[in-house]
Every structure is written in C-alpha cells, then in structure tokens.
Structure 1
Amino acid sequence: MDGFIAINKAPGMGSTDVVYKVRKIVHMKRVGHSGTLDPAVNGVLPIALGSATKAISRLQDSGKIYTGSITFGFATTTEDMEGEVVERTPLTVPIPDERIDAAMQSFIGDIIQIPPMYSAVKVNGRRLYDYARAGETVERPQRHASIYDFRRTSATRFDADQGTQTFEFSAHVGKGTYIRTLAVDLGKRLDLAATMTQLTRTESGGFVLEESVTLEQLAAAAEADQLLTLVRPVQHAYAGLTSYALADWQWESVQHGNFLKLPSTDDELILTYQGIMKALYKLDADGSYHPETMYLSNSFGGDNSAN
C-alpha cells in the first residue's frame, strides 16, 4: 500500500507509538507520521504508508486546526497540564472577554515563538526535553510561526476560589506552531501566567477529525481485509496540482528519469499512468519538466475517504 491513513490519536500515547502500532497492523515497515502530536493531545495524526512517506513534507505544509482550552492564573514547566506548576498569578476579578479577544487577535499573522523546553526541537544535537529532564538550561532558538485564526469559542469561566479563568478556543496555524506556547504568550500579553489545559487537533494535512479512525478501527479493518477503504492515495498530498496522464512511450521515459516536454505551463505536474500517480515533475526555465519526486512503485490510485 502507498498512501495515507488519518488516525484519531488517543491521549496518552506519542506519535511514534502510533507509527509502531500501525506497522504491526498493516504489516509494513515503511510507515511515518506527519505533524507530531504530544502524548496528552488527541486528534488527527496523518500516517504515511510506503512511498507516501516521500510526501510527508508536502502534507506538513498545509495548515492545522486545533480546539482546546486555556487557563489564566498559573503556569507549568511544560506549558500544559503534564508539568509542575512554576508560577501563579491569582485573579481576583475576571479579565473582560473583550480584552481577551483583542489580545488573541493581536497574534494573527506571522509571529516569533520560543519553543518550550519540553519539546523535540534540537539544540547542539540534543532534544530540548533532554536538557529539561536533566535540569539543564540552554538558549532556545527563535522560530517563525504563522497564525491564521485564533479565537475564543466559549464564555470564560472565573473560579474565585482558585483565582483562575478558563475558556475554550480554536486556532488555525501553520506548520511548526506550538499551541502550548501560543497559550503562554497570550497570558504574557495580559500580564498573567497561563497554561494550555486541553488540546485536540481537528484538521491536519487535509484530513479532518470526522474521517479519522482509531487504532482499534484500523485493526478491525485489517482483520476484515478492508484496509484499502481507509487509504487516501499519494495524490492527496498534492491537492490543487494539475495531473497529466502519460502515454505508454512517456511512461517508459519517466521510468528512466528523463526530462519531458509537456503541453503545460504549470510549475509542478502530477504525472499519472493508468490512473496512478507515478511522479511529480517540475518546470524548468527552458520549458521542459524534470523529475522532482518519483513514485514509480506506487500501485494505489484510488480516491477513498476514511469512513
């Protein structure tokens, strides 16, 4: 199989744990994931099978949508509920909703984030969470992030006893954005400690939560010999690109990695043979197309949707 399956990851397991379990279910070694989800986060985790692993970077280029909750009044080491409380700024009165909304809107656009210490970002060859677990500090690199939408989706709930204020939110962001850090930075903008108290990814790589399947559902489909009904073809990662159907003689040429003159001016073309994607070709300055990514062994061209 070559293609993508959208897994609805349950809380409590890492993204690599999901890959390991999928490998066992589908009996394939070449399996990868697009867009890491922290263990505490649930939701859409696109899984690539076979040659579709070559398209993971393209899948990651598309935006991601999250829903969750943010609480003002305390901060943790991990910026979520997995860590220990390290700061408290108890609220005696609730922050007006209008002020929260204005602060959230101020993040729309391109921003700079400092990744959390408990993250997989590498500094000097080591993951930041390795430094954190060892009690070491290190200068963290700045990262660019794109925020397309960030809004409150519920009334705020003020807890006078705990000195906290909580609300639900939705966020549409570009790749590499840390929602935990977005929550913490929102608090800083309001001069408050803040924590991301819950998070679900509802869309990633063009997959939505409603069409994602659990590992148990995937295993049941495998047992019933119905795995292909859950697989999206490699073309899914190249949504919006034009497809060009190869003639027999052109397919022969593509198998040798040759350049092609094609009746198109698109920057990139999906080349198909007998309805199956076989290559991504890119336009040169001289008007010819050269191989960008090859999928010669791809044998799956269906357009199934996960149900």
Structure 2
Amino acid sequence: MVDKPAGWTSHDVVGRVRRLVGTRKVGHAGTLDPMATGVLVLGVERATKLLGHLALDTKSYLATIRLGLATTTDDAEGEPLGEPADTADVTEPAIAAGVAALTGEIAQVPSSVSAIKVDGRRAYERARAGEEVRLEARPVTVGRFDVLASRTEGPFCDLDVLVDCSSGTYVRALARDLGAGLGVGGHLTALRRTRVGPFTLAHARTLAALAAEQEEHGRAALSLDLDAAVATAFPRRDADADEAAALAHGRPLSAAGTAGTVGVFGPDGHVIGLVADDRGAARPVLVLAPA
C-alpha cells in the first residue's frame, strides 16, 4: 500500500514504485484521481496475482466540499460554471437534510470526468476533448456521510466530511449533488482516501519513506508482505504438511465450512493460496506457493 501524493496519477505511482523496489512486476488495484491522496493498493511480484481477488468493494474518504460554485469537473480542477453564489442563507438544517438525501442506497450520475468507458473511451478523455458526455445513473451505497466541520470562506461554505461508500461511488458527485440540491452549486476541493476494503492508511507508506529506504538499503519494500496481506484480507485456515503439499500442487482440500474465499497457511506460517468451498471441497482459487 502507498499513501499517494496529490498530483500523481496511479500510473505515476506504479512507475515510481517499480524503480524503488527494483522490479517491473508492480500493479495496482483500482485508481485514485490525481488530485486525491491516500490509500492506493499495490502488489509487487507474486502479490500482483492477489490483486484481482481482494474484496475492495467498500471505501472511506475524508473530503472538503465547497458550497457556492459548481465546476465542469465537479472538483477544484475544473472551470467555474457561472458566478459564485452567496451561501449566507444556507442553514445547517438544510445541509443536514441534503446530506441525508444522499445517504443510503442512491442513484448517482458519475462525473463526466470519471474513468467510465463510453464507446471504448474513458469519459474524462471525451470530456476534456470538448465532447458532451452523458452518463447514466447507477446504484451506489453511501453508508456514512457525516459533516465534521463547516466554515465560511468569503461567499463560500466549506464542509469537511467523512464518507463511507461502495466501490463506484464518486465523492465529487456527492459534492455536486449536495450543492445542486441546496441551490448554490458545489464542488470538491480536497479528497483523501483513508480505507480500501480492509486496508487503511496505517498500512500505507509514503513515496518519500520508500525512497529513503531505497537510498539506505538499495531497495525498498511495501508495508505488508504477502503473508500479512492475505491474513489482513481473508479469513485464515492453517494447513498441515499434507494439506499444504496438496494445495501447492493445485489439489482441493476438505471443505473449510466458511463462506467466501479463505487464505490457507502452511506449517511454516507462510501463505500457500486461496480456496473457496465448492461442491463439498475447498477448491483452489489461487495458488501462491511455492515462492
């Protein structure tokens, strides 16, 4: 995991980490906007095989919403849409009602500069080329949308918010829709992802820390090794020597009796692979051993 800095694309981070850890085999699980900071899940070497099996369907963010102006991108990088609106008459109860309306299971129209593909091209590519982009509303779940603080900045009202949501939810679309519902417009000025699935900022390392480690030791390492990553992301099953050998060769084990995917560890404490119960046996989903 990397704590992505502002202004970097996810691809930029992968390229930098490749140099710092000394391998081309680095991948990421889901992108993070250049303006955003925070948790970006990466895999190195064997761990790249794990990325597609991680349950990363819930995410958490800290963000700042500016009420009083809509933009072309629903964030601070876009052009203003009209003149700023005075938010002096926007009350706390009105904001609370607007937030409540955007909490729970909602239908959200993604931002036109999202990474969703439209006829084979990313929406943001079309939008930035001057094309009109129309995206369909899609169901998302906003489990938590809390206003932590508010303050006046000239004609604007800035809200610091905490959002827990399903994958596919756009926080800048929440900013846009909150501002629209209040009649003053809104956009996102800051976004920090604090959690992706089971992985949090506590698991993430900064690029500066990785660079310092690389300079001192000749190579850097991400915060979680493969064993720790699997133990964090999946229920654990400990296998004896015979079971470990069987799974290492792709053979099924006795049923785990656990719903979903389970991480299997050998007698030496190292992960062997992932299994899931199917037709009365725990069948391999991914074999990670031998190293």
Tell me what 1:214 maps to. 206
Identify the residue that residue 289 of structure 1 maps to in structure 2. Answer: 282
Give secondary structure in 2 for the equivalent of 1:154: strand
For 2:51 and 2:233, the matched residues in 1 are separated by 16
Alignment gaps of 5+ in structure 1:
1-5, 300-307
Indicate if the aligned counterparts of 2:70 and 2:179 stay in contact, CA closer than 8 A. Answer: no
Quote the Cα distance in structure 1 between the aligned partners of 2:242 and 2:55. 34
Structure 1 residue 16 displacement after superposition: 0.7
Q: Is the 8 A contact 1:55 1:234 kept in 2?
A: no
Alpha-carbon distance in 2 for matches of 1:38, 1:68: 13
Residue 270 of structure 2 aligns with an amino acid whose one-letter code is I
RMSD over aligned Cα, in angstroms? 2.3
Is contact 1:67-1:170 (8 Å) kept? Answer: yes
- The residue type equivalent to 2:100 in the other structure is Q
Q: Secondary structure at the residue paired with 1:135?
A: coil
2:101 to 94, 98, 106: 106
Relative to structure 1, the CA distance from residue 252 to residue 94 in structure 2 (aligned partners, 3 Å threshold; closer, same or farther) is same
Q: Secondary structure at the match of 1:169?
A: strand
TM-score, with length taken from structure 1: 0.85
- Alignment TM-score, normalising by the size of structure 2: 0.89
Residue in structure 2 matched with residue 247 of structure 1 by the alignment: 240
Q: Are 2:40 and 1:45 aligned?
A: yes
Distance of aligned partners of 1:28 and 1:205 in 2 relative to their CA distance in 1, 3 Å threshold:
farther
Counterpart of 1:140?
135
Deviations 1:189-208 (A, max 9, x none): 22231111111222224333
In 1: Cα distance, 2:58 partner to 2:177 partner: 20
Aligned to 1:302: none
Deviations 1:50-86 (A, max 9, x none): 2222332444525222112111221111111111112
In 1: Cα distance, 2:71 partner to 2:233 partner: 42
Cα separation, 2, equivalents of 1:217 and 1:254: 37
Secondary structure of the equivalent of 2:149?
A: coil
How many residues matched?
A: 288
- What residue ranges of structure 2 are gaps of 5+ in the alignment? none
Q: CA deviation at 1:164?
A: 2.3
Q: What is the alpha-carbon distance in structure 1 between the residues aligned to residue 156 and residue 222 of structure 2?
A: 46
Change in CA separation of 1:230 and 1:158 when aligned onto 2, cut-off 3 Å:
closer
TM-fit CA distance, 1:241 = 4.0
Structure 2 distance, partners of 1:143, 1:57, is 23
- SS of 2:139's partner is strand
The one of 183, 187, 190 equivalent to 1:191 is 183
